[in-house]
Amino acid sequence: MIFGRSERGKPPVEPVTLKILVAGGFGVGKTTLVGAVSEIRPLRTEELLTEAGRPVDDTSGVEGKHTTTVAMDFGRITLREDLVLYLFGTPGQERFWFMWDELSEGALGAVVLADTRRLEDCFAAVDYFERRSIPFLVGVNCFEGAPRYPVEDVRQALDLDEGVPLMMCDARDRESVKEALIGVVQHAMAYAADRRQIVNT
């Protein structure tokens, strides 16, 4: 099927649309991830880092970063003809966290990006989704030159529950990002099914 049109007389498929958040610390690759996989030109709300922000913008480990997301990134990917994901990248800096509550409204789940050089930067995102019972997957973004650790070591360092999926990914690579997104959708569906079972027993 060509998206939005029927093929050989078949009725058009009305796709299910799901909202997925992309969260994590400053400079972890959220904007890159959304851009790598979006089939539309991504909406970005980036501003240049300025001298005025130097006291509050910790750029250690990401010294080459010159912009920051101040509201959100937005992209879209069609996984199947009947399944479309809307991606919302959250701002990573603490002074813009007030946006998170708005962005998380109606979200099926989230991908929390982590950088092994600044692992503590994703603690706030992990805590946020745990407290709100929003299912999430942790994707360790494999930066060049960053130390590589076994998945279980990263899980232990983040104090993640066994049920939270954790995987290595490359935010620049479309296929790698798709795997992470499919993973979070599957996890969120299983999470919802488990909760329904608990309610019905």
Give the pLDDT score at 32: 94
Confidence label for 136 from pLDDT (cuts 50, 70 and 90)? very high
Residue 137 has pLDDT above 90, yes or no: yes
90-128, pLDDT tens digit by residue? 986 665 666 788 889 999 999 999 999 999 999 999 999
Residue 99 included in any domain: yes
Average of per-residue pLDDT across 17-21: 97
Give the pLDDT score at 91: 85
Which amino acid appears at position 31 of this protein? T
Contact assessment for residue 169 and residue 188, using Cβ atoms and an 8 Å cutoff: no
What are 107's two structure tokens?
């979200």
What total of structural domains would you count in the chain?
A: 1
Residue 4 included in any domain: no
Residue 60 included in any domain: yes
Residue 124 included in any domain: yes
31-61, pLDDT tens digit by residue? 999 999 999 998 876 555 445 444 455 555 5
Residue 71 included in any domain: yes
Q: Hey, which bits of 90-153 come out as E strands? A: 109-114, 136-141
Give the DSSP letter of residue 32.
Answer: H
Task: Indicate the average pLDDT of the chain.
Answer: 84
Residue 186 included in any domain: yes
Residue 5 included in any domain: no
Confidence label for 3 from pLDDT (cuts 50, 70 and 90)? very low
Q: What is the CATH number of the domain that holds 20?
A: 3.40.50.300
Contact assessment for residue 160 and residue 19, using Cβ atoms and an 8 Å cutoff: no
The residue segments making up the domain with residue 33 are 16-141+148-200
Residue 154 included in any domain: yes
Higher pLDDT, 166 or 60: 166
Give the pLDDT score at 2: 45
Which amino acid appears at position 56 of this protein? V
